[in-house]
Chain A
Amino acid sequence: MAVRTAVEVELTGAIQTVAPVRERFWSLRRMLTPIVIVAVLLALYLWIASIPLDSIMQRTLNWDYILLRTREHLVLTFAASFLVAILAIPTGIIASRTTSRLLRGTILTVANIGQATPAIGFIILLAIIWQIGFQTALIALVAYSFLPVLRNTMVGLAQIDPNITESARGMGMTPGQVLTRIELPLAVPVILAGLRTSLVFAVGVATVATFINAGGLGDMIVNGLKLQRFPVLIAGAVIVSCIALLIDWIASIAEDVLRPRGI
């Protein structure tokens, strides 16, 4: 047991020639993004509080409404990303494992279509054919953000030095063990990068959920746009952007934390 572990460590360490200098985790550079986000949101709040709000604007520019919509937006985003993770990563593994070019081609084509189709058209079509509401929005979001994770899983697995997997096989590991103990840990940085991209996509596209009663900050944006109340429109857009930045930042921290030692 100890021998195998030592050899594993040697193997994973073998692809790296120089250990990187680990700087302090919570440096100023790392905290820069959240500081900027907080500053922007504060500026937004001060601006909205200072301008006169007519009856139409008051219906959307109040804490209850904003918090409700933000919560709906976040729930949708995270639920979709979670689903994408548990669906796209296994699909990526299958696609990279299979020898059937037809299967791989089909999987990639479907994922491509999911992202290329205009999200708003797709979600409304789905709502009319099936039903409106949260589940439909979830499906549309998953379809849209599927491709980055799928692609990155395939690429992450493909870029592993075949000598490593061969050595692992030679040591007597089953293909399953090779996958879980060697290949996936090595592919984790790339897969996480894909997940990070997919999360940011999901935040942006979750704005169209408003059209089928799935809530979200898109409601503020559409409202402000249709009635030409620019503070509402700007508030909605700025909050969505800040959420996207924040999620990207959290994901980057997760990337660094979850990166296996020695890579």
Chain B
Amino acid sequence: MNKRTMSLIGVLAAGAVALTGCSAGSPAAEEGSAEGELSGLTGEIGAKDFSEQYILAHITSQLLNANGADTSANTTVVGSANVRSALESDEFLGYWEYTGTSWITYNGNTAPVAGEEAQFDATKEADAANGIAWLDPAPFNNTYAFAILSDKGEELGVSSLSDIAALPEDEQTFCIESEFSTRDDGWPGLKSAYGIDVPDSNVALLDTGVIYDTTAKGDVCNFGEVFATDGRISALGLTVMEDDESFFPVYQGGFTLKQSTLDEFPAIADVMAEIAPMLTTAEMQRLNALADVDGEDPEDIAADWLEEMGLI
């Protein structure tokens, strides 16, 4: 019995040691030049819970590391507000935020600013008061949109959001996700802006990822709430409805970080400026499709893209 107990303990101990070796090995620091202009910069680049954010976080982390920093991408936090508060509490070094989200959700404004540039300037100013700095934004606009199967859209004759209210009620079926369903710049606001008045049974609440497939299947809902830069839109044969009342705010992507971090490492702005202009809506759709349609790992997508662009 003694021998058996000892061997059992031995097996358990060996197993425990083996498991510690299994800790997720995301190679934090690349073999980047230790003499880079960002040497001494450490921290985590945060991301919200969807592929575009994962890809951007990895791109940022790898690019910064190639310039001497020692950062890693943290893709575990769920929910915009949680990522933002992680930045505010210095748990994250920085992350890619959208102008509209910051303007409305964090700074508490109810109406968006018309125009991309104006929205960015207003947001940058508002966040500066909170000690959060915005680097120059990228061109992509990841706004909320509603998409329908292209064939179905032609059949129903809808091409813009204001066409929806005119449809018969049983064709006005929607798939939305939890955050959108209660946000002021989400479903409640959209309904009043476009005069959509349907019973709750016409609205299905789903997880973000499930919406795309469900919309493509077409039997539960005609219109799915999607993100404009998502690669699955074209891959699944969906068409985006035009936002003719300009209800949805502009959600231009830009890297946010603490002003104090930027003051300490002003070279971050120069490094990030290398990639920002290249990230157009079309490019983001392409990268997102690699993740969501082809199933590639965001870390690999980031590395491949940076190599393609000749940056690492």
Residues of A close to B85: CB separation below 8 A: 228
Q: Do the beta carbons of A213 and B205 come within 8 Å of each other? A: yes
B204 at interface by CB-CB < 8 Å: yes
Provided the pairs A132-B220, A226-B80, A227-B79 are in contact, do residues A59 and B182 lie with their beta carbons within 8 angstroms? Answer: yes
CA distance A202 to B69 in the complex (A): 47
Residues of A close to B213: CB separation below 8 A: 128
CA distance A124 to B209 in the complex (A): 9
Q: Do the beta carbons of A212 and B206 come within 8 Å of each other? A: yes
Mark the stretch among A172-180, A217-225, A255-263 that contacts chain B.
Answer: A217-225
Provided the pairs A59-B188, A128-B213, A228-B82 are in contact, do residues A213 and B182 lie with their beta carbons within 8 angstroms? Answer: no
CA distance A222 to B49 in the complex (A): 13
Residues of B within 8 A of A (CB-CB), count: 24
Q: Do the beta carbons of A222 and B220 come within 8 Å of each other? A: no
CA distance A211 to B178 in the complex (A): 8
Provided the pairs A60-B182, A131-B220, A222-B178 are in contact, do residues A210 and B79 lie with their beta carbons within 8 angstroms? Answer: no
B210 at interface by CB-CB < 8 Å: yes
A127 at interface by CB-CB < 8 Å: yes
Of residues B178, B204, B213, which shows the largest number of chain A Cβ atoms within 10 Å of its Cβ? Answer: B178
Of residues A127, A219, A226, which shows the largest number of chain B Cβ atoms within 10 Å of its Cβ? Answer: A226
A99 at interface by CB-CB < 8 Å: no
Q: Specify which of B81, B210, B219 is in contact with A226 (CB 8 Å cutoff).
A: B81
Residues of A contacting B: mostly:
helix
Provided the pairs A226-B78, A228-B79 are in contact, do residues A124 and B207 lie with their beta carbons within 8 angstroms? Answer: yes
Of residues B81, B182, B207, which shows the largest number of chain A Cβ atoms within 10 Å of its Cβ? Answer: B182
Residues of A close to B204: CB separation below 8 A: 132, 213
Residues of B close to A223: CB separation below 8 A: 178-179, 181-182
CA distance A212 to B210 in the complex (A): 8
B259 at interface by CB-CB < 8 Å: no
Residues of A close to B220: CB separation below 8 A: 131-133, 213
B184 at interface by CB-CB < 8 Å: yes
CA distance A225 to B49 in the complex (A): 13
Interface 1/0 per residue, B84-95 and A, CB below 8 Å = 010000000000
Residues of B close to A36: CB separation below 8 A: none
A31 at interface by CB-CB < 8 Å: no
CA distance A128 to B184 in the complex (A): 29
Q: Nearest Cβ distance between residue A104 and chain B, in whole angstroms?
A: 26
Residues of A close to B143: CB separation below 8 A: none
Interface residues of B in 172-225 (CB under 8 A from A): 175, 178-179, 181-184, 188, 204-207, 209-210, 213-214, 219-220
Residues of B contacting A: mostly:
helix
CA distance A132 to B218 in the complex (A): 12
Residues of B close to A59: CB separation below 8 A: 181-182, 188
CA distance A53 to B85 in the complex (A): 20
A56 at interface by CB-CB < 8 Å: yes
Q: Nearest Cβ distance between residue B95 and chain A, in whole angstroms?
A: 15
Interface 1/0 per residue, A223-237 and B, CB below 8 Å = 101111000000000
Q: Do the beta carbons of B207 and A56 come within 8 Å of each other? A: no
Q: Specify which of B179, B205, B209 is in contact with A210 (CB 8 Å cutoff).
A: B205
Q: Do the beta carbons of A213 and B179 come within 8 Å of each other? A: no
Provided the pairs A131-B220, A222-B178 are in contact, do residues A227 and B183 lie with their beta carbons within 8 angstroms? Answer: yes
Q: Specify which of A132, A133, A219 is in contact with B178 (CB 8 Å cutoff).
A: A219
CA distance A55 to B79 in the complex (A): 18
Residues of B close to A127: CB separation below 8 A: 210, 214
Residues of A close to B206: CB separation below 8 A: 132, 211-213
Q: Specify which of A124, A211, A227 is in contact with B179 (CB 8 Å cutoff).
A: A227
Residues of B close to A132: CB separation below 8 A: 204, 206, 210, 214, 220
Q: Nearest Cβ distance between residue A54 and chain B, in whole angstroms?
A: 9
CA distance A127 to B206 in the complex (A): 10
Residues of B close to A211: CB separation below 8 A: 206-207, 210
CA distance A210 to B205 in the complex (A): 7
Residues of B close to A212: CB separation below 8 A: 206-207, 210
- The 4 nearest A-B residue pairs measured at CB: A228-B81, A211-B207, A226-B79, A213-B204
- Known pairs A212-B206, A213-B206, A223-B182 / 4 extra A-B pairs, C-beta < 8 Å: A223-B181, A225-B82, A226-B82, A227-B182
Give 12 pairs: A residue, B residue, CB < 8 Å, sorted on A. A56-B183, A124-B210, A128-B210, A132-B220, A211-B210, A212-B207, A213-B206, A213-B220, A222-B178, A226-B80, A226-B179, A227-B79
Mark A residues whose CB is within 8 Å of B. 55-56, 59-60, 124, 127-128, 131-133, 210-213, 215, 219, 222-223, 225-228
